[in-house]
Structure 1
Amino acid sequence: MSLTLQSAARLLTEHHLLREIIAGDLWTLDATQVDGSDRPFADITYDTRTVAAGSLLCCKGRFKAEYLNGIDERGLAAYVAEADFSSATHAPGLIVNDARKAMSLLAAEFFGRPQDELTVIGITGTKGKTTTSYFTQAVLNAYSDGRCALFSSVDNCLDGHTYVESDLTTPENLDAFRMMRTAVDNGMRYLVMEVSSQAYKVDRVYGLTFDVGAFLNISPDHISPIEHPSFEDYLYCKRQIVANARTLVYGADMDHADLVRQDAAAHGIAAHAFALHNDGKDSGTPAEAAAWPIDAAHSAYHIALDGVDLGEYRLALDGDFNYLNAAAAVAIAHAAGVPADAAEALHAMEPVRIAGRMEQFRDPQSNTIAIVDYAHNYASVTALLDFVDERYGAQNPRITLVTGSAGNKAYDRRKEIVEAAEHRIHNFIFTAEDTDTEPFIDICMEMQSYITVPGMASTVISDRPTAVTNAIYDARAHADRFNIILIIGKGDERWIKEHNKHVPFEGDDRIVERMFGVTTGDARPDAK
């Protein structure tokens, strides 16, 4: 793990990123002309607050010269930037065309290319990434005696069993390589990671080739001025996982599957499909891995791989869509080297629960069920309501949806959540979700304005704990009916983002537990 100014310059030159090296009055392409250019960097960082003696600083984003005030006194060894900051520091600068791409390449090199010591699996898609990632990790952990790491939007796990809450769906590239090195040092052989569209948009996975890339599905999402300007751009960014994988697993019935198959053919990689067949083993789109229900209640499924029935599966997570995720996990694990006859490993996903996903609670004081889930867009809300209709539709439930939507981004979700639900529920309660600067009340009022069903009951309660509590009191007031309360968007998160700060929040699941007087215990995999 030795990175010097000389080796950094060579690497950046190989990738056509280096413009020049600036060291005082010296402007050069030859790093050997700079004093100390063969001295290994002690650390690499993008945070000026962590700079210490021997550090290489990556100046990404809207970096300003004033951020470097006093940096020389702390021993900055060199910096990487798209601009010349020699007026603010005596340290030499590697001036590059793209600081994020440079940071990714340099971080991988500094940490000794840990990806080469792991079988790395990247999973993308509009919905199902987290569940499929946990299922896949469970299978690979069982197969490798607990040697599979995980990067997910819920947790990161670097030792196969300890889970720490994550901040991003896909970590910043420097953080990702640092975490990979820790995983390798912990004896991990596999890494399963969620890959968001933004990961490719802002180069969080630049230079990383996945041993297995999985593309689960696609539907419009994340369309906003600060994310993707159009669905075409969103899909294009998602498709980059195909160009950066050695093997592809994809949803046979996903929209634009033909285009994804063309991508795989263009890059000369094998493509393996998975599917959910709802009316029998031999129906639906052909796929290497497939799940189909055993009975009308859909309480259990069979899963087959390459036409061989792997047996009956009963998941702890409800919903047909989770059996589709299970079929994806089987296909991914098989592509990563798990043989079809490793039955014990493949069944390891059955007990997996993920905090805040499809968690159900029954109220002992009334005929009411509350479901806490991360559903947050048209596709996931539709899937959740499909599950409710399939499982409970015969009981004619009175359904209340407690929902908000993210602020300052993904503006399309606000209308689409309402469109997905308004003809299938009885009552909306609009409430706070994460935001940057937009007031919660404005987002809620906008969502309420999209209701088109005459007489649809709706309430705006911007305080989220009050909104959840009121939904429960309202259900108890309608005790003559079977009530279902769907509380979506936050899962088990213990904070709400307001003005770019994480404000402590009890959590939807804990509010329900407190009101119902019940507990499910910690549902994270490391608690099993």
Structure 2
Amino acid sequence: MTASIRQIKWSRLVACAGLSASGGESADPSITAIVDDSRQAGPGACFVATRGTQVDGHVFIEQALQAGVSAVICERPVAVPKGVACLVLPCTRGVAARLAATFHGLDRLQNEGRFHLVGITGTNGKSTFCYLLKSILEAARHRTALLGTIAYDLVGRTIEASMTTPPPVTLMGYLAEAANAGATYAVMEVSSHALDQGRCDGLRFDVGVFSNLTGDHLDYHVDMDNYLRAKKKLFDGLDERATAAINMDDPAGIRMVADCRARVLRYGILDADCPDDRGLDIYAVLRDIQAEGSLFDLVLSGVVEPNGSGERRCQVRTAMVGRHNVQNCLAAAAAAVALGIDLESIARGLAAIRGVPGRMQRVRPLAADGTENDTGYTVLVDYAHTDDALQNVLRALRPLARGRLLVLFGCGGDRDRTKRSRMARVAAEGADLVMVTSDNPRSEDPARIIEDILTGFTDSQRTKVRIEADRRRAIHEVIGLAEPGDIVLLAGKGHENYQIIGRDKLPFDDAAVAVEAMSKRNGCVCSS
């Protein structure tokens, strides 16, 4: 399968991308690359100047021209050498994405039914959803790429993720690479930043999925209305051929698909013996949730069954723990149904996955002979970095703890400050002991971040709170406090193998430090 058009005439490129090349210019060069970074500019490239949140790309037009680009797209007139095409648009946001998607032939592959794209947006659960849906699609024998917060799995190679949704030109290149490697499906996380900045413009999603909406990223979006509007862009962009799958357990779900042209599938958890008053198309009835996983009935209503053949159900046993993870399973099942995957493959895929990196991940210290050291207590690493995510994890763990529930967390610097006190409140209500520490402080003073967190505790709750700004020392301390039957949750960083302090990105892995602490406490040499 060939996904890349390696050379395309300027006139054809802008026409296929839906841009008007009016202006009477005679230059019609061959374009061999799309760039929005002047450092990547060169002969044959089309440079798109975009006003970003930090830098205005128009400042680098001259640098791009000196590098020999063949075309420039910008928002204000600029003098270009003879033979260089130039297109002036009112706004260039999203243009690089549209051009790159056209350049790589992604629209052609989708129109021919050879490449299918699923995007999920929401505050929490996106990474877990992607791994679950990938497992389902692979159970149905479809080669599947995955792009998200943890990694970019392009089928032929896997790259450590630098951000949830890659920059537009990079994103289109990755999708084309995956298609070239034989992927027929791609599952990706679509962040609110990416939607607001137009990074996914030019992509036609076959399925758009909404997980949930809770307070986060308000440093960028300012308020929840703007945050919701950014997420809603995914569903506003779906056409009549697509499907929107929305979580009806979240009040924002129905707002996401207001005026949506796509078919809508509603999913949610239906408590036993409770009537369905939300018009659920796909739902789960919980049977059991234990430390080893969850058991539930997956039900497809007659509405989603071919020819309205009546309700179908099957029992699903998954290693994913907690009500919130059953919702993630439902989201993946809904997307799979929209793609025409059979119920048996859905159940097999959900059962096959053993876990997601940094999501309710158990730290298992191993002795030199490879056997697991039984410490008597349990240590888990989770990416929960919002109050809603932390609450979900703590609620899932509470009935599983034979002893106390201990939680360690911090909050990222240069990010949404409004959630700091909320996370404190959730931690105090859900855990028996709270260790407040640093996350990725970035340019902020860790002590100031901790001060903001502490405002969320009441005076009576402060008796269960301990403070240690150094995350390594804090992990050692909280594990040192664990007793038999206790569960220790290290929250906030999950799969991340670094800590950002100032401008430095330093090696740091919660799971590795936990093993180090457990080895020291138990007087043995362990590995993970």
Give the TM-score category using the shorter length.
0.7 to 0.9
**Which residue of the partner structure matches residue 5 of structure 1?**
10
Shift of 1:389: 1.8
Shift of 1:71: 4.6
**Which residue of the partner structure matches residue 509 of structure 1?**
511
Write out aligned runs for 1:201-220 (5 A). 201-220=196-215
Pair 1:417–1:344, CA change in 2 (3 A)? same
Pair 1:519–1:52, CA change in 2 (3 A)? farther
Indicate conservation of the 8 Å contact 1:71/1:89, yes or no. no
The answer to whether residue 358 in structure 2 is matched with residue 356 in structure 1 is: yes
Equivalent of 2:71, from 65, 78, 101?
78
Indicate conservation of the 8 Å contact 2:38/2:47, yes or no. yes
Shift of 1:83: 3.8
Equivalent of 1:377, from 367, 378, 386?
386
Pair 1:286–1:5, CA change in 2 (3 A)? closer
**Which residue of the partner structure matches residue 144 of structure 2?**
148
**Which residue of the partner structure matches residue 251 of structure 2?**
255
The whole-number CA distance in structure 2 between the counterparts of 1:206 and 1:274 is 27
The whole-number CA distance in structure 2 between the counterparts of 1:101 and 1:461 is 43
The whole-number CA distance in structure 2 between the counterparts of 1:15 and 1:367 is 64
The answer to whether residue 24 in structure 2 is matched with residue 30 in structure 1 is: yes
Indicate conservation of the 8 Å contact 1:365/1:516, yes or no. no
**1:332-375 deviation per Cα after TM superposition (whole angstroms, max 9, x unaligned):** 101011123xx145312223221111012367575321111000
5+ residue gaps, structure 1: 21-28, 522-528
Equivalent position SS for 1:300: strand
Equivalent position SS for 1:99: coil
**1:67-123 deviation per Cα after TM superposition (whole angstroms, max 9, x unaligned):** 466655543222222244548999553322222322111111111235624111111
Shift of 1:468: 1.0
Pair 1:274–1:77, CA change in 2 (3 A)? same
Pair 1:500–1:236, CA change in 2 (3 A)? farther
Pair 1:169–1:296, CA change in 2 (3 A)? closer
Indicate conservation of the 8 Å contact 2:248/2:254, yes or no. no
The whole-number CA distance in structure 1 between the counterparts of 2:117 and 2:45 is 28
**Which residue of the partner structure matches residue 275 of structure 1?**
268
Q: How does the TM-score come out when normalised to structure 1?
A: 0.85
The answer to whether residue 425 in structure 2 is matched with residue 431 in structure 1 is: no
Indicate conservation of the 8 Å contact 1:429/1:460, yes or no. yes
Equivalent of 1:457, from 441, 464, 477?
464
The answer to whether residue 108 in structure 2 is matched with residue 111 in structure 1 is: no
Pair 1:317–1:469, CA change in 2 (3 A)? same
The answer to whether residue 453 in structure 2 is matched with residue 447 in structure 1 is: yes
Equivalent position SS for 1:338: coil
Pair 1:83–1:474, CA change in 2 (3 A)? farther
Write out aligned runs for 1:283-432 (5 A). 285-295=278-288, 297=290, 299-306=294-301, 308-340=311-343, 343-352=344-353, 353-361=355-363, 364=373, 366-392=375-401, 395=402, 397-432=403-438
Residue identity matched to 1:123 = I
Instruction: Kindly report the root-mean-square deviation, in angstroms, between the aligned alpha carbons of the 2 structures.
Output: 2.8
**Which residue of the partner structure matches residue 370 of structure 2?**
none
Pair 1:68–1:241, CA change in 2 (3 A)? closer
**Which residue of the partner structure matches residue 492 of structure 1?**
495
**Which residue of the partner structure matches residue 236 of structure 1?**
229
Residue identity matched to 1:468 = I
The whole-number CA distance in structure 2 between the counterparts of 1:113 and 1:215 is 23
5+ residue gaps, structure 2: 303-310, 366-372, 520-524
**1:122-144 deviation per Cα after TM superposition (whole angstroms, max 9, x unaligned):** 1112211111111111111221x
Pair 1:304–1:281, CA change in 2 (3 A)? farther
Equivalent position SS for 1:57: strand
Q: How does the TM-score come out when normalised to structure 2?
A: 0.85
Equivalent position SS for 2:70: strand
The whole-number CA distance in structure 1 between the counterparts of 2:127 and 2:389 is 13
